[in-house]
A and B are shown apart, each in its own frame.
Chain A
Amino acid sequence: MNTPQTKLANSMGKFRPVLLTLAETMISPALRGNLEASDLVQQTLLEAHRNADQLAAIGERPIFAWLRKALRNNFLDAVKHLKAQKNDIRLTLRCSEIGESFHFIEQLFAADEPTPSQFAQRNEQVLLMLAAIQELPTNQRTAIILKHLRGLSLKEVAEALQLSEDAIAGLLHRGRQQLVQRLDKAGHE
């Protein structure tokens, strides 16, 4: 039963949490509340289904590349739409920055395409981690994303989530513990 369609569905299932984490990371504090990561990803996956014929013919990596590109376009469209609605000068800035961030992410994942070297292995781990983040409880997930993917300090994360620093430290520790366990398990499989 390994038809191209089921393969496509499999890879979409695999990349959905990755895209979610990426989108959640990209939504900056200025945009929070106006944009929903799950909406953007949902829209992206719907588009993928619409292009199922085209995507089913290509491998897993190109599908991921296609999804990233689609997510980027949806993201930028959404920000532009917001900008038109709200006429907020800060959003003008965000658009080019988001574009560039996606550009850097592209470079990161594009690096592993020609040779299955160390880089590729590492990127595999990065993908696993990004997917595993979606399995964490909401608060742990947000804390991990803010702390490690957006690079905020403990204090800044505590302010953003309106919790004490001690509580955030606990969330982060348990979140990381789960992630590492998940990665170790994947390593043994």
Chain B
Amino acid sequence: MSDSYADKSESTDDETADSHLAELERAAERSRERVQAIAPTCFEKEHIRYFAIIDELASPIRSAISQITSPPTLPDYGPLEEIGRGGMGVVYRATNHKTNRMDAIKIIRPDRIACGSQETILQMLRRFKLEGQLAARVSHEHIVPIHQVGEVDGCAWFSMQYVAGPSLYDRSRRKDIQHEELVSCVERIARAIDAVHRCRVLHGDIKPQNILFDQETARPMLSDFGLAELTSELNGKSNDIAGTVAYMAPELIDAIRNHRTRDDFADVRSFASDIFSLGATLGSVLPARSTSTFITSPALGPDDAEKRRGQLRNHISVNADPALARICLKCLADDPGARYATANQLADDLASWLDRPRWNQYFPSLRYLLCFVVAPGLALSGLSVWLLQESREHEIAIWIAIFISYVPLYAALWASQRVQRESERARRELWSIWLGHGIASVASMTAIRIQNADELARSIAQFYPTCAAISSVAFFAKSGNFWFGYRWIGAAWAVAAIVLAVADPFSPVLFGIFAAITCIIVARGDSAFADDHQNRDAKC
């Protein structure tokens, strides 16, 4: 008790100073929200310094204890029930009286957030408000929508759709998710991320914990834009080094480890960092074939990150099939330039992995098939027709030799149907054009053969120019929806029809050579075959 007497006697001695101190105290409380603009005296400076030091040291303990304090009351909402807390805010669940709908509400509590010196609190408030704005800006079926943004008692808050379901992290821990579903989930999230990127927003914290499954529709939803930043603001001086280390791209980790300034950090942060996080997310939740699932501990320092990256790559190559592993590892490339350029490309690759034919993991690309199977097939077919004709073989053999070249063509088209998923209509059109070509050729050969009943050589000489003309039609038809160069090929075939008419008896050989050249030009020229990625190049 003697202590308190001492305190009291002190305070009565200097009452004016105490009331001044009270003013300063209130100012310090307020300044958590606002920057002080007044010029302080020496005494006031001292007060501010003491306050800042003690308040910052006390803040981690305070944020731990704050569990005991009750949440604020929001207009239109019933009692709040805490469902989680992160570095920036607390997430509650409450019913909106007006809409009678259960919403999730995220509130930042300026007095209660972890690690808060006044500067960081201001920073966090700013970022929190930005989070609401950014998340509201992007609308996508796989992004948790924001309903309302507001402020109450100095606490900024926003409400969003309440997604009750388990997170991807939970499901992978329960071993409740298989490769196929997992890849399709990440594919859809990648499309969402692409939408985010197209709005010039970086998500910055993609991880399995932030992918939630809607309970009714089982739809994966991306949430938590807590670390999202507008790229236009990346050039500002306001970036914080944030994100979950386990899913963070190496360039960001280097920036942390080297204690670079925030500007440096902003420089290295890019869309590619989000792609890395997507790859790390997919890789880390891949179900293991033998032992337990690969899950990282949250308390991971930047120094362990490199070791962990190695483990992750190892986990992927052991547990994913080569095609999927290659997709993951491309995301996880150390060099940001070596990763996917956009999240949509990643999504495309994942989609074609999902649609992959089971047998053709090492199936040669359609381009390769066109160059090395279809083209030689066509040339050989022409040559053999000529040889068979010269050696006066049986007519059936000649017919087979003429039309055998359609077999590798249709086989290649059929294979492409197995590996491709997009542009279903284009694929149907290709099929109908080439099927029509085949049928028209057989029909014209039959008709010509009937007209020249006694002379096979003459029928063949008449058939090849006809077939060239049909090809010309086919290529002109293709030029409408496909590669522009097809119309030149079509024109060339029209010329070839005339050339073949005068080239008798070498028309089969010439036709075969023309066809082979066309095949190679198409394989090289048509951009649909240009992508050398195995699963994509079948796209016609």
Contacts and interface: CB of A to CB of B under 8 A. Distances in A.
A139 B11 CA distance: 12
B439 interface: no
Contact of A139 (B7, B23, B54, B65): B7
Given A115-B301, A117-B301, A169 B60 contact: no
A144 B4 CA distance: 14
A165 B69 CA distance: 22
Main secondary structure, interface of B, reads helix
B407 interface: no
B299 A154 contact: no
A94 B70 CA distance: 12
A166 B18 contact: yes
A71 interface: no
Interface in A88-133: 94, 97-98, 100-102, 104-105, 107-108, 110-111, 114-115, 117, 122, 125-126, 129-130
A179 B23 CA distance: 21
Interface residues of A, number: 50
A61 interface: no
Contact of A167 (B6, B8, B23, B51): B8
B57 A126 contact: yes
A168 B7 CA distance: 10
A74 to B, nearest CB: 17
Contact of A108 (B6, B19, B64, B112): B64
B19 A148 contact: no
B10 A170 contact: yes
B7 A104 contact: no
A101 B67 contact: yes
A169 B50 contact: no
Contacts, number: 131
Interface in A124-172: 125-126, 129-130, 137-140, 144, 148-151, 153-154, 165-172
A71 to B, nearest CB: 14
Contact of B60 (A102, A110, A126, A138): A126
Main secondary structure, interface of A, reads helix
B-side interface size class: 35 or more
Nearest to B300: A114
Contact of B65 (A25, A130, A165): A25
B390 interface: no
B404 interface: no
Interface string B47-66: 10111011101101111111
Contact of B68 (A97, A122, A137, A138): A97
Contacts of A100: 67
A151 B69 contact: yes
Tell me which of A28, A104, A144 has the highest count of chain B C-beta atoms within 10 A of its own C-beta.
A104
A166 B26 contact: no
B3 interface: yes
A138 B8 CA distance: 12
Contacts of B1: 138
B22 interface: yes
Interface in B54-106: 54-55, 57-58, 60-69
B233 interface: no
Interface string B115-131: 00000000000000000
B22 A166 contact: yes
B24 interface: yes
A108 B65 CA distance: 12
A137 to B, nearest CB: 3
Contacts of B67: 97, 100-101, 104
Contact of A180 (B6, B25, B50, B65): B50
A117 B57 CA distance: 16
B26 A154 contact: yes
Interface in A1-34: 22, 25-26, 28
Given A97-B67, A173-B21, A180 B61 contact: no
B29 interface: yes
Given A138-B4, A149-B65, A172 B25 contact: yes
B11 A104 contact: no
B33 to A, nearest CB: 13
Interface string B34-51: 000000000000010111
Contacts of A104: 63-64, 67
A188 to B, nearest CB: 15
Interface of A: 22, 25-26, 28, 94, 97-98, 100-102, 104-105, 107-108, 110-111, 114-115, 117, 122, 125-126, 129-130, 137-140, 144, 148-151, 153-154, 165-174, 176-177, 179-180, 183
Given A150-B65, A170-B7, 9 more contacts: A26-B65, A98-B68, A125-B57, A129-B58, A138-B3, A154-B22, A166-B11, A174-B7, A176-B54
15 contacts: A100-B67, A108-B60, A115-B303, A126-B60, A126-B61, A130-B61, A151-B112, A165-B25, A166-B15, A167-B8, A168-B25, A169-B21, A177-B50, A179-B50, A179-B53
